[in-house]
Structure 1
């Protein structure tokens, strides 16, 4: 049953993305201000298919912590386990802007819409230049009142795995003086990295209390500490055992 559900979801999500990608041409040419609402609609429809077809219940805890950080600019420091994590914040934030890999802008149909929707493409191989671009883009996002979503792990990571966090978020927080909201998830148990098979179950997005960016050197440790608390108290009960049982692609 899970295989059939996965086939149906993957086919419908691909067709939806293709159709909406083609349908975005008028927006790109004549109505650029609708790029973000259009991208938000695409994310909403893909996640609707994911929930209904694959039998996934999404539970979001700690949304009051977003309110505590205010409605203006902030940094969302989210764990990154699946494509789900790149979609959900389109629905949870008023003006989201993702820090994304620069190569994504070159994806036909999708890439140009990501740029128009206000995402922040960074060429990570550019070294120090990439950091300067990141801080410059952060300034622009703050000036526009956007909420910046960044995945400090740098790539999709299996549930329960721990990797060194990238320093970019600490530089962004110190440079712009933004509150940092840590987020834990177990999305990889249901939509694994490069995994064709999608699994049913309860998917958690656990939003923690804002972390003060006062000490740049300690910020990464504070984010990791918050993630571990969120995993234990809200997001991923039994995550180690589940991660061992559920195969992940990639």
Structure 2
């Protein structure tokens, strides 16, 4: 590879990233404003309308960032809503797991709801907004609200590592999502992916390629402790991450 080719690769990734993030900012503002009339509507209707923005993001991921998505294990998704425990590397999974698990509620920081325009729309999606500094009270909020939302027909998506972890690394898996699943009497559906390799948690560059998403078999919670459930989940996710890495290396 020539010197000019070497220097052009990061430049192209940066250009894609700049265009993509500019598109994110513009579209989220526009969509939040055009969603204002939907705020008084019943939750089902306003949820459908507001989350159409995720489809816009998916379009930009494909055609601006140049990133394809490949799914496997979709037949593992239960027919009834439960708890999803997913790998957390990127902003991609916070928006683009929606078509797989619809409708869903996110567990998120309450501060996000205070962001002008964006936070207003987010609040109208009825998420589980917690104060992370509240300790046990925050966990109680997740359990109480999560059980209600599952009973009403919504999936609960939790990122057990708590924060975005760079590709190739693993964070400490926390028990909150597993505890909710045990209390609600529903299985855990694990999800692994390599989104952080293409939409990094830091910086503006977007790397074209393929995000591989693998949905695992549901992990039963009956008769198990939250520690057992989260350990089984972590083992499956990290093994799946190794498979994704090996498959990518073999395809090069």
Report if TM-score (shorter chain) is over 0.5.
yes
Give the structure 2 partner of residue 5 of structure 1.
16
Change (3 A) 1:35 1:236: farther
Question: 1:238: Cα distance to partner?
Answer: 7.0
Tell me which residue corresponds to 1:38.
49
How many Å apart are 1:90 and its aligned residue?
A: 1.6
* In 2: Cα distance, 1:32 partner to 1:172 partner: 23
Structure 1 residue runs of 4 or more that deviate by more than 6 Å after TM superposition: none
Higher mean C-alpha displacement, 57-66 vs 213-222 = 213-222
CA contact (8 A) 2:192 2:214 kept: yes
Give the match for residue 248 of structure 1: none
For residue 32 of structure 2, what is the aligned residue in structure 1?
Answer: 21
Question: Which residue pairs with 1:231 in the alignment?
Answer: 241
- 2:232 corresponds in structure 1 to 222
TM alignment of 1:71-90, pairs within 5 A: 72-90=80-98
Equivalent runs, 1:140-159 vs 2, <5 Å: 140-159=148-167
Given candidates 118, 125, 133, the residue that maps to 2:141 is: 133
Task: Give the CA deviation at 1:40.
Answer: 2.3
Map 1:93-172 → 2, pairs under 5 A: 93-172=101-180
Give the Cα separation in 2 of the matches to 1:19 and 1:119: 21
**Aligned pairs, how many?**
236
- 1:140 Cα deviation from its structure 2 partner: 1.2
CA RMSD of aligned residues (A): 1.7
Q: Deviations over 1:189-235 (max 9, x none)?
A: 011113211111111111000111131221111011111221233x3
Q: Distance in 2 between matches of 1:107 and 1:126?
A: 20
TM-score, with length taken from structure 1: 0.89
Aligned equivalents of 1:64 and 1:39: distance in 2? 27
Counterpart in 2 of 1:189? 197
TM, length-normalised to structure 2? 0.88
Query: Secondary structure of 1:236's match?
Result: helix
Which runs of 5 or more residues in structure 1 are unaligned?
241-250
- Could you tell me whether the CA contact under 8 Å between 1:185 and 1:236 is conserved in 2? no
C-alpha offsets along residues 87-135 of structure 1, whole Å, 9 cap, x if unaligned?
1122222211111122111111122222222321121110111111111
Unaligned runs of 5+ in 2: 1-11
| Displacement after TM superposition at 1:32 (Å) | 4.8
Distance 1:195 1:130 in 2: 31
Q: CA deviation at 1:239?
A: 7.6
Counterpart position of 1:51: 62
